[in-house]
Amino acid sequence: MDIRIGNGYDVHALAPGLPLWLGGIQIDSPIGCIAHSDGDVAIHALCDALLGALALGDIGKHFPDTYEEFAGIDSKILLSRVVELIRKEGWKVSNADITIAMQKPKLAPYITAMRECMASVMGVDPDRISVKATTTEKLGFVGRSEGCEVYAVALLVKE
Ligand code: MG
Query: Residues of 105-119 as b/e, b for ≥16 C-beta within 10 angstroms?
Result: eebeebbebbbbbbb
Structural domains of the chain in order of their starting residue, each with its CATH number: 3-158 (3.30.1330.50)
Ion ligand 1 contact residues with beta carbon within 5 A: 10, 44
Residue 1: the pLDDT is 87
Q: Which of 10-19, 64-73, 79-88, 138-147 has the lowest mean pLDDT?
A: 64-73
Around 144, how many Cα atoms within 13 Å sit in the side-chain half-sphere?
Answer: 4
Task: Note the pLDDT tens digit of each residue in 88-119.
Answer: 999 999 999 999 999 999 999 999 999 999 99
Q: What's the CA-to-centroid distance between 123 and ligand 1, angstroms?
A: 22
Q: How many residues does the chain have?
A: 159
Pick from 86, 76, 59: which is nearest to 3 by CA?
Answer: 86
Residue 134: the pLDDT is 98
Cα 79 to Cα 14: distance, rounded to the nearest angstrom: 22
